[in-house]
Amino acid sequence: MYDFSPRVSLVSLVAALLMLPGSGVGEENLRESPLVRAVRQASRSVVNIHTEKDAVSGRENHLFQQSGRKISGMGTGLVVDEAGYIVTNYHVIDGVSRITVTFHDGRASEASVVSFDRKEDLAIIQIDCSEPLEVMPTGSSADLMLAETVFAVGNAFGYEHTVTSGIISALHRDVEVDEHQSYHNLIQTDASINPGNSGGPLLNVAGNVIGINVAIRSGAQRIGFAIPIDDARDVIARLLSVERLRGHSHGIHARRLPHLHGLTITSVRPDSPAEACGLQTGDTIHRIGDLRISDVTDLERAFLGVPTGTPIEVAIERDKQPLLHQLTLGRAGSEFAGMAIQPSRSQFVKASQSTFGGAVSTPAKPLPPQELFWNSPGVLVRELTHPELQAITGRNFPGANGNIRYNGGLRVTAVRAGSAAAALLQKDDILLGLDGYETVSIENFEFIMDPQRIAQSREFRCQYLRPGANPVEGSIVLE
């Protein structure tokens, strides 16, 4: 027999009391939703970015010079390494003269640009920090679901640490902004994204980053886009490559495999520190030093502060057995023989966007045929003599991001009439950088002019120094 008479249990009575307005009993627990906890966790790793840019026009916008009037800009970034490395969109810091980073607790620091990828619209900036920063937890964009709850944190219209929520509206969107910028495989969300949100995180309810906010649909309501974090992390790894930033070599190529913890080694470069310490293709890396490894960005982060000649412990799994190895970094371009070997300048690292992990180095080799450069873009170059190098590295130059120090350059010895280079460069100019890469060696230049890279982009931003002047920026457009 069923009894339908009213009855109040002890459990329901307590629950009712907890819901009474003003009771105060457990109220905080009821209000503290997963989103609240996620935002609280994320706020320590999200930074607000404020920039200044010189107000110039026409050809002047290519000159590294100061102007009386400043234009303010804004964006967002997230901490990707405790040593002060922060990722944001390239368009946030493009051409700016000053970058100020502000944390949730009001701390402010000046930042400098470390590296960038203009095509992928991502950049790494860095601040000096007296204590380790908190790194934003990273999720995966491989298993995103339509209508999944997400939220964005950013510097919306200058209102710092603005939080908006929504859902994933669509996946795999291709968006063309203009003839110079297009995006592929973006996440579409209806979480409100506004000017100033660029470079900030799109997070799931667990507080993990699943995208980096990058664009909005002008004139539309609640249509925003984010770079999937898995795609972004591959780019970030290249931008943080220890070979690119420090000239250090580890020799590991790896990728994250679905449903596996750690990072699986896909190849080990011959004569590299990785080969010397016994790492093999198929090994799964779980830890390097004190850092747990989940993707290629973690791999590069683990080696960032490690000097050459200093061993670091690498914990791997091979055939379901845990193993420990001691890897000692070498100098990029040097053959590894158990200790760091200083390379000549012609042995400098080739930083590769097409190679997994962002860099590849080769042993010293003869200079490539200058005929290749003479055909395209139309120059002959040589490496700097020691006095010429000292004249570059010993100076501070005025630049788009404040004072700039260069690591060297290449002297232009001839320019082919009617070539792409002839529209910009002259004999005796010093080529300081090309397409976001420094050009301190012939091998740097050879890498940048690789036919596969040229097929992807025909326009190359160029920084060069003309005798008696300050550095200048322009573009070389190949035919």
Active site residues: 91, 121, 198
Whole-angstrom distance, CA of residue 55 vs CA of residue 35: 41
Task: Give the Cα separation of 435 and 70 in Å (integer).
Answer: 26
User: DSSP label at 120?
Assistant: T
Give dist(CA 360, CA 329) in Å, integer. 14
Burial class (CB in 10 A: 0-12, 13-18, 19+), 333: buried
Q: Which residues pair with 76 in a beta bridge?
A: 48
Task: Please state, in angstroms and as integers, the Cα–Cα distance from residue 114 to each residue in 100, 236, 461, following that order.
Answer: 14, 11, 16
The tokens for 103 are 């944390």
Residue holding tokens 């690292």?
Answer: 349
Which one-letter amino acid corresponds to residue 174?
Answer: D
Give how far the C-alpha of residue 276 lies from the chain's centroid of Cα atoms, to the nearest Å. Answer: 29
CA distance 453 to 377: 13
What is the dihedral sign for C-alpha 162, 195, 94, 301? positive
Dump the DSSP string for 16-27.
Answer: HHHHSTT--SSH
Give strand pairing partners of 98.
Answer: 52
Question: What is the chain's length?
Answer: 479
Report the alpha-carbon distance of residue 245 to residue 69 in Å, rounded.
33
Residues pairing with 162 in the sheet: 154
Kindly give the interhelix angle for 296-304 and 229-239, rounded to the nearest 10 degrees: 30
Residue 260: CB partners within 8 Å, gap ≥ 6? Answer: 284
| DSSP secondary structure letter of residue 60 | G
Burial of 150 (0-12, 13-18, 19+ CB in 10 A): buried
Q: Give strand ranges (E) for 205-310.
A: 209-216, 224-228, 248-249, 252-255, 263-268, 284-288, 291-292
